Amino acid sequence: MLFLRLKGDPVKISRLRKITIAAAFVLVIVGLLFNTGTGTLSSFGWQEIAAICPLGVVEVFLASKTIIPRALIVLGLIILFVAVFGKVFCAWLCPVPPLKGLLGKIGKKVPKSDSAKKDQTALTASEVQLLKTKECSSCAKQRAKLDSRHIVLGGSLLSAALFGFPVFCLVCPVGLIFGTIIILWQWIGFNDISLSLLIYPAILIIELLVLRKWCMKFCPLGAMLSLMSLPNKFFRPKVDEQKCRHSRGSSCTNCIDVCPEGLDPHYTNGMHECSKCGLCLEKCPTAAITIPFRHQQTRLSGEKQKG
């Protein structure tokens, strides 16, 4: 069995992911500013070879009532890629999580008072562990089913068919990020200013700060990628039960708490949602988690946990 040599080395994982996101972002910005034709993450490529956002492709098909052969081929390639590698876009390319984290730090709330902290720690250790166990078990079950993101996805596709244009593209945070950059460039470089300079950032703030659970609760692109990744069986986190503190009866839930997708790597249900970010590897204090090329876990939601 082939294992990715990522275990026990959190620095390399975080650095590689940051470099990948930064490189993709810089490539897009250079393309926009110098008109190289590389496009954005919504539609990127070189001249006739372009990869379009899969959600945007389907919306265009529905809006125009026409199937574009080249776009259909690209969509098929994207589906194949996601089926093999899963939702890697969400962790390794999407600019939304980094921006969300930056905005979250800027708008960070004032620390709670000591009395509030005492209220939070009033439960006994066993009670806290019981609550966490219930939350994590239900989390794995919930992520295996259709959720609010898929409702938004359905609404996005339906609106495109009804109104004749891809409605969601107007408020897509990925598109708005690059749209804001373009507007800023037009303002700075050509003194061309418009209301979009206020509207785009305002929508972004609403989506990323007001709708704080955007990625898990609202993102239709994430919902579409989750459906495409249902066949994905590769590069899923594997837990070494002999090393895992939680499996040996400890209250450790580091891997579960840090997962941006709300997954428990001890279970298979819902693991098609894994974005391969590697955070569970980073936070595991005993290096009990690895990412094998392919691993069939037998532990399912609802089964009796060890320890």
Contact 178, 185 (CB under 8 A): no
User: In this predicted model, what pLDDT tens digit does every residue of 31-57 receive, in sequence order?
Assistant: 766 766 555 555 544 444 445 688 988
Q: State residue 225's pLDDT score.
A: 95
Confidence label for 74 from pLDDT (cuts 50, 70 and 90): confident
User: In this predicted model, what pLDDT tens digit does every residue of 187-206 receive, in sequence order?
Assistant: 887 777 788 889 999 999 89
State how far the Cα of 229 lies from the Cα of 79, in Å rounded to an integer. 8
DSSP letters along 137-205, please?
HHHHHHHTS--HHHHHHHHHHHHHHHHSS-GGGGT-HHHHHHHHHHHHHHHHHH----THHHHHHHHHH
Confidence label for 124 from pLDDT (cuts 50, 70 and 90): very low
User: In this predicted model, what pLDDT tens digit does every residue of 249-273 receive, in sequence order?
Assistant: 888 899 999 999 989 998 888 899 9
- Asked if residue 297 has pLDDT above 80, the reply is no
Largest separation between any pair of C-alpha atoms in the chain: 65
210 φ/ψ angles, rounded to the nearest 5 degrees: -75, -50
Structure tokens at 191: 């003194």
pTM: 0.77
CA distances from 3 to 51, 292, 294 (A): 30, 4, 8
- Summarize the confidence of residues 100-123 as an average pLDDT: 53
| Contact partners, residue 295, CB within 8 Å, separation at least 6 | 1, 236, 238
Q: State residue 36's pLDDT score.
A: 63
Q: State residue 13's pLDDT score.
A: 80
Mean pLDDT estimate for the chain? 77
Q: Where are the domains of the chain?
A: 10-101+148-227
User: In this predicted model, what pLDDT tens digit does every residue of 77-104 receive, in sequence order?
Assistant: 999 999 999 999 999 999 998 888 887 7
17, amino acid identity: R
Length of the chain, please? 307
